[in-house]
Structure 1
Amino acid sequence: MIIPEQPKIASFPENSKVWVYQSDREFSLEEQDYISEKLHSFISGWESHGRKLTGTFEIRFNRFIIIAVDESISDASGCSIDKSVVIIREIATHTGTNLLDRSLVAYKNASSPIHIIKFNEVSAAVKQGLITQETLIYNNTITCLQELIKNWELPAKSSWVSRFFNN
């Protein structure tokens, strides 16, 4: 199936609502095709209280699914957000990935791939030198496009991880 081109998230207003779902491993090309088809179908019919939502998605670094809604057109409601989580759960089940575990932390050093560790392992990773002050930490708690642009990838020294460094 040929999937029509989605609008780029970057073309949405900076106050657009954003959700980031992180996989515990990289997606294969086949899985990315499945995810794109599933999300395109979902977003093209996504509604909130009978009003069409203007949304889009991206898969970044073969690991993150980012969904955005332009709320200047129509707000996403609790029910419409719940429906998006149902789709994410279906994707997770189909791909055998964990997309909803908020206790997983993604980080990347200059020449390394993205690594995933549990939240409670971050302090030890800092002590072992696996995470340095310059290591990029992915902040998946962001809620709007402006935050995605400015605060999604942060050096550890500028993120919540900074508390584990000795000053």
Structure 2
Amino acid sequence: MIIPEQPKIASFPKNSKVWVYQSDREFSLEEQGYISEKLNTFVSGWESHGRKLAGTFEIRFNRFIIIAVDESVSDASGCSIDKSVVIIREIAAHTGANLLDRSLVAIRNASSPIHIVKFNEVSAAVKQGIITQETLIYNNTITSLQELETNWEIPAKSSWVSRFFNN
């Protein structure tokens, strides 16, 4: 059976539900191929209580897996969301990448690649100048495509990290 390629996330309605899974490292080209194949198959058959979900995914910056569902077609239920997490766990096991650790913060400075700072080390990274007010912080707690476009990559001064600049 040939699985068709999924529509681009950008073609989905702005209120589409999204989940962002961040890797602790960049994926290789081979891993990206595996992830794309795995997620193509998954979203093509993704259902909620017997109703087909309109889902898609994207890999950004060789590090973030973003899954989206257009809930105007059908809502994602707890069980269908759990199934997506199972796929993410399988991808993590196959690649050896850490995809579910919410204590890792992805940051990027102007001309630097994205790198990871542990949550409990953010304050020290600010004091050392690793994180400045203009450093981009990846807000993986967003829940909609609209937020992905407007509130996912944000300057540290506009994020939760801002509290460390006053100390």
Equivalent position of 1:160 in the other structure: 160
Once the two structures are TM-superposed, the CA of residue 25 in structure 1 deviates from its matched residue by 0.2
Equivalent position of 2:69 in the other structure: 69
2:110 is the alignment partner of 1:113: no
Given that 2:3 and 2:44 are in contact with CA atoms closer than 8 Å, whether structure 1 keeps it comes out as no
| CA deviation map 1:23-74 (0-9, x unaligned) | 0000000000000000000000000000000000000000000000000000
Equivalent position of 2:125 in the other structure: 125
**What is the root-mean-square deviation in Å for CA atoms of aligned residues?**
1.1
SS at match of 2:116: strand
Distance in structure 2 (CA, Å) of the matches to 1:116 and 1:8: 27
Distance in structure 1 (CA, Å) of the matches to 2:60 and 2:96: 18
Equivalent position of 2:7 in the other structure: 7
The amino acid that maps onto 1:158 is: S
Once the two structures are TM-superposed, the CA of residue 4 in structure 1 deviates from its matched residue by 3.8
Equivalent position of 2:134 in the other structure: 134
Equivalent position of 2:57 in the other structure: 57
Q: What count of residue pairs does the alignment treat as equivalent? A: 166
Once the two structures are TM-superposed, the CA of residue 6 in structure 1 deviates from its matched residue by 1.9
Gaps of 5+ in 2: none
Equivalent position of 2:146 in the other structure: 146
Question: TM-score, normalising length from structure 1?
Answer: 0.97
| CA deviation map 1:136-161 (0-9, x unaligned) | 00000000101000000000000010
Question: TM-score, normalising length from structure 2?
Answer: 0.97
Residues 29-108 of structure 1 correspond to what in structure 2 (within 5 A)? 29-108=29-108
